[in-house]
Amino acid sequence: MPEGPSVRKFHYLVTPFVGQQVVKTGGSSKKLHPPDLQSLWLLDTQVHGKKLFLRFDPDEETETPDHNPLPEPLGEGLQKEDASCQKQAIGPNGLKISDGSSELVVPKADDGLEYSQGDAPAGGAERWLEVRFGLFGSIWVNEFSRAKKANKRGDWRDPVPRLVLHFGGGGFLAFYNCQMSWSSSPVVRPTSDILSEKFHRGQALEALGQAQPVCYTLLDQRYFSGLGNIIKNEALYRAGVHPLSLGSHLSPSRLEALVDHVVEFSTNWLQDKLQGEQQHTQVYQKEQCPSGHQVMKEAFGPPGGFQRLTWWCPQCQPRVPPEEPEQL
C-alpha cells in the first residue's frame, strides 16, 4: 500500500473540499453504497500513518474542525507550481496523484480489497469514513484514471473507481483501489506516526532495541506508522545498518541514527511529492549502491509473517554481529 508520504499527500488533495456538500456520487462500491453520501457535508479530513479519514455530516457546520491545513512552506510550493512542467497538479484544479511506478498498473474493479464494517450511513454515530489504500491505491482530482497499458486479457480498460464524490463547488474526487469502512472516530496514534510532530522517538528507539532484526521492527505500524518498504530500505542503508542486525546488538547512537534517517527520508519524500518531484532512492530496487558496490536482494520477514523484498549493500551495511548466519 502507499506509504505515509503518499497518503499525507492524498490528505492535502482532499483538504480543499472540506466544507463542501456532496451533490452527486458514483463508483463501483457495493458494500459502501455511495448514494448514502449524497447531500452530506465533508467537514474534516485527517491522516494517520497509512490511513485517511474523512468526516461526513448531514448538516453544515458554521465552523469546520481543524483539518490540518498545508504547512506554510509546502502550501506555498504547491500554489506556485508551474503546471506546464508538472505531470501532477495539486488541489481541486489539479490532476492525478499516484505512487511512483504504480501508475503503470491498472487495478481491477473487483480486486477484493473493499470491505465495510457495517453499511451504516454517515447520518448516525458513524460519521468517519476510513480509507485504506491498496498497493496501487490513489486519489484523482477532477479527472479519472486512464489505462496506461493493456491488462492481462489484452484489454485497454480504464480502472474503475471505488468511489466518486462530486461537490457543490464543482470539483470531484475519485478513489481507486482502496478499502473503506465507517467508524465513530479516527484511529489516532500520532505518537507512532513518522510524519507527525508528536512522533515519540523514545517509544520508537525502545522498540528498535528488541532482540529481533531491525527490518521487522521498522515495518511494525505500532511504532512506525506510515513506514513502508521503501522507507525501510532507504533508512537502513543511510544508517549503515544491515536489515537482519538484531536491535539489541546495535549501539544507542546507531539506533538514534536509524530513527533520524527514517524521519528525514520520509519528510524529504513528502516534500518532493508536494513539489511534483520524483523520489530519490539510493538502494531500493538498485543494482549498485552509490559507492559502486553490488546490492543484494532477499525477502525477509518474521517466521510465519509477511515477507518483504529487501535491498542492502553487504559492504556499506555490515551484519552485527558478523558471525550470525544470514536468514534464508
> Residue 322, preceding bond cis, omega within 30 degrees?
no
* 125 band by pLDDT with thresholds 50, 70 and 90: low
The Cα 81–Cα 89 span in angstroms is 8
What is the pLDDT at residue 128?
95
Burial class (CB in 10 A: 0-12, 13-18, 19+), 303: exposed
Hey, what's the torsion of the CAs at 129, 121, 24, 66, to 10 degrees? -40
pLDDT tens digits, residue range 39-68? 999 999 999 999 999 999 998 764 545 544
Name the residue type at position 321.
Answer: P
As beta bridge partners, residue 21 has: 41
The Cα 264–Cα 255 span in angstroms is 14
Tell me how far CA of residue 139 lies from CA of 55, 124, 199, in angstroms. Answer: 17, 26, 26
User: Is 274 domain-assigned?
Assistant: yes
Choice between 33 and 94, residue whose per-residue pLDDT is larger: 33
The mean pLDDT value of the chain amounts to 81
* 120 band by pLDDT with thresholds 50, 70 and 90: low
Is the pLDDT score of 69 beyond 60? no
User: Is 123 domain-assigned?
Assistant: yes
- For 219, the grid coordinates are 515495518
- For 233, the grid coordinates are 530500505
Both 31 and 52 in one domain: the answer is yes
**Contacts for 241 with CB less than 8 Å, ≥ 6 apart:** 214, 250, 254, 258, 317, 320
Least confident of 4-13, 35-44, 150-159, 314-323: 150-159
**Contacts for 153 with CB less than 8 Å, ≥ 6 apart:** none
Query: In 3-state terms, what secondary structure has residue 225?
Result: strand
Both 171 and 195 in one domain: the answer is no
Average pLDDT over residues 109-120: 43
Number of domains in the chain: 2
As beta bridge partners, residue 298 has: 310
Is the pLDDT score of 36 beyond 50? yes
pTM over 0.85: no
User: Is 209 domain-assigned?
Assistant: yes
User: Is 318 domain-assigned?
Assistant: no
pLDDT tens digits, residue range 269-319? 999 999 988 888 999 999 999 999 999 999 999 988 889 999 999 999 998
The Cα 256–Cα 262 span in angstroms is 10
Average pLDDT over residues 18-27: 96
Least confident of 84-93, 124-133, 161-170, 202-211: 84-93
Both 12 and 144 in one domain: the answer is yes
Query: In 3-state terms, what secondary structure has residue 72?
Result: helix
- For 27, the grid coordinates are 463508483
Query: In 3-state terms, what secondary structure has residue 246?
Result: strand
Is the pLDDT score of 74 beyond 60? no
Both 197 and 85 in one domain: the answer is no
Q: Which domain holds residue 210?
A: 190-312
> Which of these, 90, 106, 95, lies nearest to 11 by C-alpha position?
90
Phi, psi of 136, rounded to the nearest 5 degrees: -115, 30
The Cα 294–Cα 264 span in angstroms is 25
Catalytic residues: 2-3, 50, 308
pLDDT tens digits, residue range 161-177? 999 999 999 999 999 99
User: Is 321 domain-assigned?
Assistant: no
Integer-rounded Cα radius of gyration of the chain: 21
Residue bearing cell 448516525: 124
CATH number at residue 220: 1.10.8.50
Is the pLDDT score of 255 beyond 70? yes
Is the pLDDT score of 237 beyond 90? yes
Q: Cα 111 vs. chain centroid, distance in angstroms?
A: 19
Q: Cα 11 vs. chain centroid, distance in angstroms?
A: 10
The Cα 242–Cα 250 span in angstroms is 10
Among 162, 183, 204, residue at a domain's last position: 183
User: Is 15 domain-assigned?
Assistant: yes
Both 212 and 304 in one domain: the answer is yes
Least confident of 152-156, 222-226, 304-308: 152-156
The Cα 83–Cα 254 span in angstroms is 42
> Which of these, 58, 133, 97, 132, lies nearest to 276 by C-alpha position?
97
Contact 185, 193 (CB under 8 A): no
Both 80 and 13 in one domain: the answer is yes
What is the pLDDT at residue 61?
67
What is the pLDDT at residue 30?
82
Both 113 and 16 in one domain: the answer is yes
The Cα 156–Cα 313 span in angstroms is 40
